[in-house]
Amino acid sequence: MVPSLLFEIMLIGLLGIGSQWVAWRYRMPAIVVMSITGLLAGPVLGIMNPEEDFGNLYSPIISVAVAIILFEGSLNLNFKELRGLGKPVFRISTVGAFIAWILGSLTAHYIAGLSWAVAFVIGGLFIVTGPTVIMPLLRQSKLKARPAKILKWEGIIVDPIGALLAVFAFEIITFLTATNPDINQLLLFFAASIFAAIFGWACGKGIGWMFETGHIPEFLKSPAVVIVVILCFTVADEIVHETGLLSVTAMGITLANMGISSISDMRHFKENISILLISTIFIMLTASLQLETLLQIFSPNIIGYVLLMMFAVRPLSIFLSTIGTSLSFNEKALVGWIAPRGIVALTVSGYFAGVLTEQGYEDAHILTTLTFGLVFFTVVAHGFSIGWLSKKLHLSMEGKPGALIIGANRFTVELAKSLSKANFPVIIVDSSWERLRPVREAGINFYHGNILSEQTEYNLDTIPFEYLLAATDDHAFNSLVCTTFMPEYGRTNVFKISPFDQLSKEATVVSRVGGRILFDKKFTMEDLLDKLDNHYVFRQTTLTSQYNYKQYLADKDDSTVFLYLIKPSGQLKFYSEEMRTVPAVGDRIVSLTPPNKEKAKIQAKLDNQRNGQNKEN
C-alpha cells in the first residue's frame, strides 16, 4: 500500500526529529543519524521517495527551507564577533575559496574524470560547507571560541559564494561555447548578484526599522520575518538562479548588526524552525536518492576524488590562505580538516546536473552521485572526528562541567569557592559592581553586566559552563533567566533558588516555571544566608562501601543542605528534588552542614567581640 502524502509528511517529520533525539541521547553527530535514516527509509527499504511523491512542490520546498536555514545562520553573524578574527575570516572566504575552487576543479577533472566545463561548475559549488552541517557540529563539539567562530562565519558566508561561483562558471561556459556569444548574459549575472546583495540589505533595514518604530506588533514579528525572508529569496532567485541565497544572507547580517532589542527572541524562534527544517530536509534529500546512486559512490574514481578533497584540497586552501594571519598551527589544522558539505551542495548540484545534461554534457549525470559521496563521507568523517581532534589539538572546551551563577551574594561566593576548590570552572554574573566586591576579593571569575542584555550575549563566553544557577533575591528575575537560557542549556541543566517562603508553601505552580528548584524547595535564599550567619560550613564527604548513602543520610539532620555531588568520572550533579541520580560508592557529596558545636561556640564568641568593637567604633 502506497502511503498518502499526508502520512509521508508526518513520517518525514517524525524521522527527522527522531534522528535528532537519537543523536542527542547517544551523543552522535545528528547529520550522520539523519542521513542514515533517510537512506534506510528511501532507497534501501523503499518506504518513500519524496522527490517523486511531492512532484513539482519538491524543489520549491527545498529551496525555501535552505533560504530560511541560511538566514537563521546569518542572523548570528554580528561583526563584534570578528574582533581579532576579521583577517582570517576574510582570507578564508575569499582567497581560500578561490584556491579551493581551482584545486577542486582540477581534482574533479583528473580524478573524477569530468570534462573541464562540468569540473569548474562543480568545483565552485563544493567550496561550500554551510550552517546546516556546521552548526550541529559546533553545538556537539564545544570548540574554543576562535575556531568555532571561524567555522561558523565561513560556513554561512561561503554558502552563497559557492552557489554563485557555480552559476558564474556555468555562465562562462555557456558564453564560451555558444555559437553567438552574448556578453549581456554575463553582465546580467553580475548585475543580478549586486542587486541581490542590495535587495537583501534593504529588506533587513526595512523590517528592522518597522520593528524599532513599533509598526509591527510583538506577536507578528517572527511570522513577518519568515515571510520577508521568503520574499527576499524569491525575488532575487527569479532574476538569476541561486542569487537568492546571497540576498537572504545579506538580510540576516544586516538585521544582526542593527542592535534591535527583540532580535534574541527572533533568533530563538528562527533556530527552532531551522532545526525542524534541517531535520526534515535531510530526510527528504537522502530518501529521494536512487539505489544506483549509492552503489556508484564506491567506484574508485569517486572515492579517490572524495579522499583528495578531504585530505589535500581543503587543508591546502586553508593553510595557503591563512599565511600571515594570527591563527596558530593547531587552529589551521582543525579548520583545514572540518569542511562537511550539506543541503546547499545537494540541492544546487541536482539543479546543475539537469541543466548541464540538457546542454549536452553527458558526464554531468554523475554529479548527484559525486555530491552525495562527498556529503556523506565528510559528514561521517568530520562528525565523528571533530570532538576527538579538537581535544588532541587542545582546542576543545571539554573538561569538567562548569557553573554559570547569576547573582552575587555571600552564599554564591561560598558556593563558587567550593566549586573552584574542586577544579570546576565557575563564574558569577551580576549587574552591580558593589555586590561583586566580595567576588573580586575572593579571586573568583566574574562578569559585570545584566545576563539578559544583548551586550552580555556578545561579550560573555558561556561555552565552558554546562550549568546555569539563577540565585538572585528576585524570584521573578530568576525565572526569567531560566526561561531565557533553557533552550541553550536544556531544562535539566538550568536551576533557580527556591522561590517558596512560609506563606506560599502550597504555590507549587511556581516550581514549574523557568527551571528546576535548586537543592530543596524549603531552602530559600534567605534560609541559605541565615545558615552562613549561623556558621554552617561547606563539607565534602566521600561515600565508601563501609559508609554508604543511607548511613550518610542518617547522620544528617533536616537543616543540612545537600548542594552537589561529584562522580568518580568528574561529572558534576547539582541536588534538586527532580535529580534522578542516586549517589553511589565513590561519589563525593558536598553539603552545607551545621558546624561543630565547640567550634560554633568559639566562632560565636569571636563574632560577639567583633560586633562589640564595631559598636564602639
- Per-residue pLDDT of 223-244, as tens digits, reads 888 899 899 999 988 887 778 8
Confidence at residue 505, expressed as pLDDT on a 0 to 100 scale? 46
- Asked if residue 105 lies in contact with residue 172, where contact means CB atoms within 8 angstroms, the answer is no
Q: Please indicate whether residue 507 or residue 9 has the higher confidence score (pLDDT).
A: 9
Q: What's the pTM value of the predicted model, to 2 decimals?
A: 0.63
Confidence at residue 78, expressed as pLDDT on a 0 to 100 scale? 67
- pLDDT (mean) for 271-288: 79
Q: Please indicate whether residue 399 or residue 163 has the higher confidence score (pLDDT).
A: 163
Q: How far is CA 160 from CA 156, 172, 244, 264, 568, in A?
A: 8, 18, 8, 24, 48
Average pLDDT, the chain: 79
pLDDT at 302 over 60: yes
Confidence at residue 502, expressed as pLDDT on a 0 to 100 scale? 43
Residue whose cell numbers read 551563577: 405
All cell numbers assigned to 467: 550549568
d(CA 337, CA 302): 19
All cell numbers assigned to 282: 535531510
Burial class (CB in 10 A: 0-12, 13-18, 19+), 427: buried
Burial class (CB in 10 A: 0-12, 13-18, 19+), 522: middle
All cell numbers assigned to 238: 527569479
What is the DSSP code (8-state) at residue 290?
-
d(CA 207, CA 463): 31
- pLDDT (mean) for 347-370: 79
Q: How far is CA 512 from CA 487, 509, 578, in A?
A: 16, 5, 11
d(CA 112, CA 135): 29
- Asked if residue 607 lies in contact with residue 552, where contact means CB atoms within 8 angstroms, the answer is no
pLDDT, tens digit (0-9, with 9 covering 90-100), for 23-74? 777 767 677 788 889 888 888 888 888 888 888 888 888 888 878 877 876 7
598 pLDDT band, cuts 50/70/90, is very low
135 pLDDT band, cuts 50/70/90, is low
Nearest alpha-carbon partner for 229 in 74, 9, 16, 54: 74
At 332, the amino acid letter reads K
pLDDT, tens digit (0-9, with 9 covering 90-100), for 418-466? 888 888 888 888 888 888 888 888 888 888 888 877 566 656 666 667 7
Q: What percent of the chain has a predicted confidence (pLDDT) above 90?
A: 8
Using DSSP's 3-state secondary structure scheme, residue 501 falls into coil
All cell numbers assigned to 521: 524547595
State the pairing for strand pair 402-406/494-496: unpaired
Q: Please indicate whether residue 358 or residue 61 has the higher confidence score (pLDDT).
A: 61
Question: What is the dihedral sign for C-alpha 579, 585, 586, 589?
Answer: positive
d(CA 385, CA 393): 12
pLDDT at 613 over 70: no
Confidence at residue 378, expressed as pLDDT on a 0 to 100 scale? 86
- Name the most confidently modeled range: 94-108, 331-345, 451-465, 521-535: 94-108
| Strand-by-strand arrangement of the 561-566 sheet | 537-542, 588-593, 561-566, 572-574
pLDDT, tens digit (0-9, with 9 covering 90-100), for 577-597? 766 667 778 888 888 888 765
What is the DSSP code (8-state) at residue 470?
E
